[in-house]
Structure 1
Amino acid sequence: MIRKIRQYIEAQNLCLPETKIIVGLSGGADSVVLLYALQRLGYSCVAAHCDFHLRGEESFRDEQSACTFAASLQIPFLKTDFDTLGAAHQRAISIEMAARDLRYEWFEHIRQEQQADVIAVAHHRDDSIETMLLNLIRGTGIKGLGGIKPKNGRIIRPLLGVSKQEIMHFAQENALPFVTDSSNLQEDFTRNKIRLSLIPLLQSINPSIEESLVQTMAYLNEAGKIYDRHIQEAIPAVFDEESGRIHIPLLKTFPSPESILFELLKNYGFESERIGDIAHAIDSQSGKEFYSEHYRLVKDRDAFLLSVRTINHEPTTYLLSPTTREIQQPLKLRMRLEEITSDFQIKKENAVAYLDADILQFPFIVRKWKQGDKFVPFGMTHFKKLSDYFNDHKFSKPEKEDAWLLCSGNGDILWVIGHRTDNRYRITERTRRVCCLMMECG
């Protein structure tokens, strides 16, 4: 089996012969065989053991066994203790996830401390099969059906090419001491239910089910390479990350719009079921909204608009006056009062507004718009509802929500900030003093 492991390491380009490796050593058969095999193959190893304090006396037994075995091979042994239950509570995640995160964080810390190249963990072929089935049960994309990856950053898995049965036989044949985690013999966790119940059931239908699933994972990993290339080309074509805009007409030119949405939106916390709903909304009317924990997606005409969910605890209004001529929130706005001179010129920029200062009433109020708001858009002579103005100018729903108004002390809308001033307060031939307002972008 040593030769088989070496061939797998070489085939998957996991590490070079002179590599220094941090080896996760729990004391179980898998990690014991991994450490033994890597030493036999000539690698420089450091054994690393984690005590998660979840199994009472068994945890102490595991540590003693791992320490003794590493010493028998004359391999350096490092260990650490974790308050796993506390970490799970603090991070609001499951105990299993907390243990996993703590383990890999510590492994990476000591990898750097020991100036090692990679971290080896003892996942084997059966673990990969269980992962595939677990992802299938939970719902996943094509990547989740490819099993565990041989290499992920600095993490390598040299035993993925061998089965649990081969590992146990090798350990017994070479009289390698190992301990058994009693929780692996119980159906307390979903993965164990797959291991102890589902796989035996599948074997009763197809005695060669494990070989069939391994071959299927290999096919899916190869197909995944084509899929990944397609996705890598599609996402930049349809998604403008800066604006958060997903261009629906372009999206529909690709063979599988839902797959593109899945690979794009899962990175923003959207679950597969919700992404299915989003895909069904491609041809629906504008206005539909979808949420993940931290993001919102809005259907707006020919696009989906992605934005961060915000909870605004700031004041709803802000004041500008001759004594307070600048605000930093909710946007950067500066005011200047000046006399009209012969060289006075108006800059035609959306971020600048010019108003007749002599007919204004202070203080100015900066606020969000509300239903019923109306103004006289510059160049027009009659009132227009702000909602109609937004629709005429094709404002998206997020753009409407982000719109701020500058209002006079008497309540009149002076400026839809960054867009249009009110015609009643325009500069005329009778204007003697100008109120200049400048919005700083970015």
Structure 2
Amino acid sequence: MDNRQFLLERVRQYIARHIPLSYQHLVLVGLSGGADSVALLSILTELGYRCEACHCNFGLRGEESLRDRRFAESVATELGVPFREVAFDTLAYAEANKVSVEMACRELRYAWFEQQRREAGAAYVAVAHHRDDSIETMLLNLIRGTGIAGLTGIQPVNGSVIRPLLSLSRAEIESYLFDAHLSFVVDSTNRETLYTRNKIRLQLLPLMQAINPSVYESLSHTADYLREVEAVYRCAVEGYKERLIRHESDGVHIDIGVLRTLPGARTLLFEMVKEYGFLSAQLDDIWAAVDAPSGRFFDAPVYRLLKDRTDFVLYPRRSEKKIRTIEYGTSVVDEPVKLTFTLFDADDYQIPRRRDTVCFDAGLLPFPLTLRTWSEGDRFRPFGMKGHQKLSDYFNNNKYSLARKQSAWLLCAGEEIVWIVGERASDCYKITSATRQIWEIRCEK
């Protein structure tokens, strides 16, 4: 078996072990015109996969970008695969979205790839990351600060994106191209040290090779080992989640008492909250709240983490001032909670005995209604009581947690609280023998 066939077989075996790719699948292949992408398209077509080439012109290198586009199309034509292309105003996108040029390229590229994948009915988009890229990613994450997952390098499958060349080094890719008589273009920015990844490639790794000539192989084996360690770690974390987490009506509860007894409690706490958008930079403050009084809270883009008496509680954030107006004739409200409004004749109507449903005299209930959160000073007249009481006293008497208070929605008619949604109705507007029509309001959580 010659070198070219040896490398083809290695990629075939890697796909068989790590990527659920069928020969019946259509694969879109990112084709820049560089060595890695040319090799990827050629290898996949040689292995018998149905491919289409996708080229992105980021417009960052003038004539060189146009050269790459022309070359990529010629490669696709030579290999007999369809060619798709797009041109971006990358600098304008970076400015508008306040991201680096490097990040702009990434976001534009993968968004377009996914759009093309859906339009073409393709199973995957294949990109040309190889073993050396994975090692660079490992070192980049280490420099920035990371956990075990960041030290495992690039994964072969990430959603609809696959990386079939992770078993090959850059040198092996170039040897394949030489044997296949395929040329490629060189991106001049790959030789600049403007980007952090290129500094690792051009400065750090050569220095490490001077210390250990086999550093690529050593780091690759380390990443493989850590990938197995991470699998064991993930399994252990899932087991601890069952002991730590309770799902209740007001949110996800993390038991602080149990947390204190577990090894690596601080790290486990971060594992519990990071999937809700909390960052490692917040961990020190969150961990300090374990011994703090109730009431401290921390915000992620979508979720809030509240320290309550014995638990941390996670629940969706919302604007405290948000008010939803409900006009007469509305049948369904989808946000911030789902409510259905149905008008019934009072004759033979059976009042449901359930917390998620309330009924009011349609002749008394004034519209528009509003949905809002509670505020200090709110007063409420619970069903069956003659007078009003402070809503805060009602909460305390019924042992509402801080999280439950903050997650409560109020249905109001003017200043009057009609319903603590899903909990307790007001005595105002109640059904009597004189009632002719009834508004039935149901909460669907």
Which of 220, 224, 227 matches 1:221? Answer: 227
| Percent identity of paired positions between Structure 1 and Structure 2 | 43
**Equivalenced residues, count:** 427
Deviations 1:372-405 (A, max 9, x none): 5667878999997543442343222243233538
Amino acid aligned to 2:273: L
Deviations 1:267-287 (A, max 9, x none): 332111214432443343211
Give the aligned partner of residue 58 of structure 1.
64
Give the aligned partner of residue 245 of structure 1.
252
Amino acid aligned to 1:6: E
Residues in 2 aligned to 1:347 and 1:57: alpha-carbon distance in whole angstroms = 73
Which of 7, 12, 15 matches 1:4? Answer: 7
Query: Could you tell me whether the CA contact under 8 Å between 2:126 and 2:163 is conserved in 1?
Result: yes
Structure 1 residues 249-288: aligned runs within 5 Å: 249=257, 251=259, 255-288=263-296
Instruction: Classify the secondary structure of the residue corresponding to 1:177.
Output: coil
Give the aligned partner of residue 73 of structure 1.
79
Distance change (3 Å), C-alpha of 1:35 and 1:286? same
Query: Could you tell me whether the CA contact under 8 Å between 1:406 and 1:417 is conserved in 2?
Result: no
TM-score, normalization by structure 1: 0.76
Distance change (3 Å), C-alpha of 1:368 and 1:108? closer
Structure 1 residues 175-254: aligned runs within 5 Å: 175-235=181-241, 238-240=245-247, 243-248=250-255, 249=257, 251=259
How much does 1:415 deviate? 7.4
Amino acid aligned to 2:400: F
Distance change (3 Å), C-alpha of 1:375 and 1:134? same
Determine if the alignment matches structure 1 residue 305 to structure 2 residue 316.
Answer: no
Instruction: Classify the secondary structure of the residue corresponding to 1:281.
Output: helix
Instruction: Classify the secondary structure of the residue corresponding to 2:275.
Output: helix
How much does 1:151 deviate? 2.3
Query: Could you tell me whether the CA contact under 8 Å between 1:333 and 1:437 is conserved in 2?
Result: no
Query: Could you tell me whether the CA contact under 8 Å between 2:422 and 2:443 is conserved in 1?
Result: no
Amino acid aligned to 2:158: N
Give the aligned partner of residue 387 of structure 1.
392
Structure 1: unaligned runs, 5 residues or longer: none
Distance change (3 Å), C-alpha of 1:325 and 1:152? closer
Residues in 2 aligned to 1:315 and 1:115: alpha-carbon distance in whole angstroms = 43
Query: Could you tell me whether the CA contact under 8 Å between 1:18 and 1:44 is conserved in 2?
Result: yes
Residues in 2 aligned to 1:150 and 1:12: alpha-carbon distance in whole angstroms = 9
Query: Could you tell me whether the CA contact under 8 Å between 1:245 and 1:303 is conserved in 2?
Result: no
Deviations 1:278-300 (A, max 9, x none): 24433432111111122211112
Residues in 2 aligned to 1:76 and 1:413: alpha-carbon distance in whole angstroms = 64
Amino acid aligned to 1:29: A
Residues in 1 aligned to 2:230 and 2:252: alpha-carbon distance in whole angstroms = 26
Distance change (3 Å), C-alpha of 1:5 and 1:261? farther
Which of 29, 39, 52 matches 1:46? Answer: 52
How much does 1:365 deviate? 9.2
Give the aligned partner of residue 291 of structure 1.
299
Distance change (3 Å), C-alpha of 1:441 and 1:101? same
Distance change (3 Å), C-alpha of 1:348 and 1:283? farther
How much does 1:144 deviate? 1.8
Instruction: Classify the secondary structure of the residue corresponding to 1:178.
Output: coil
Give the aligned partner of residue 399 of structure 1.
404
Structure 1 residues 15-30: aligned runs within 5 Å: 15-16=21-22, 20-30=26-36
Residues in 1 aligned to 2:281 and 2:48: alpha-carbon distance in whole angstroms = 48
Which of 436, 439, 442 matches 1:440? Answer: 442
Query: Could you tell me whether the CA contact under 8 Å between 1:418 and 1:439 is conserved in 2?
Result: no
Query: Could you tell me whether the CA contact under 8 Å between 2:294 and 2:307 is conserved in 1?
Result: yes
Query: Could you tell me whether the CA contact under 8 Å between 1:346 and 1:354 is conserved in 2?
Result: no
How much does 1:10 deviate? 1.5
Residues in 1 aligned to 2:217 and 2:366: alpha-carbon distance in whole angstroms = 79
How much does 1:206 deviate? 3.3
Residues in 2 aligned to 1:405 and 1:12: alpha-carbon distance in whole angstroms = 56
Distance change (3 Å), C-alpha of 1:420 and 1:266? closer
Deviations 1:131-162 (A, max 9, x none): 11122222333222110112234432222112
Q: Structure 1 stretch 184-193 or stretch 393-402: which is displaced more?
A: 393-402
Instruction: Classify the secondary structure of the residue corresponding to 1:307.
Output: strand
Residues in 2 aligned to 1:210 and 1:255: alpha-carbon distance in whole angstroms = 34
Distance change (3 Å), C-alpha of 1:426 and 1:76? closer
Residues in 2 aligned to 1:175 and 1:304: alpha-carbon distance in whole angstroms = 62
Query: Could you tell me whether the CA contact under 8 Å between 2:360 and 2:440 is conserved in 1?
Result: no
Give the aligned partner of residue 96 of structure 1.
102
Amino acid aligned to 1:290: F
Amino acid aligned to 2:299: Y
Residues in 1 aligned to 2:51 and 2:43: alpha-carbon distance in whole angstroms = 11
Residues in 1 aligned to 2:368 and 2:49: alpha-carbon distance in whole angstroms = 73
Kindly report the root-mean-square deviation, in angstroms, between the aligned alpha carbons of the 2 structures. Answer: 4.4
Amino acid aligned to 1:61: R
How much does 1:177 deviate? 1.5
Residues in 1 aligned to 2:241 and 2:8: alpha-carbon distance in whole angstroms = 38
Query: Could you tell me whether the CA contact under 8 Å between 2:23 and 2:50 is conserved in 1?
Result: no
Amino acid aligned to 1:267: E
Amino acid aligned to 1:230: A
Residues in 1 aligned to 2:302 and 2:94: alpha-carbon distance in whole angstroms = 21
Distance change (3 Å), C-alpha of 1:118 and 1:241? farther
Amino acid aligned to 2:12: I
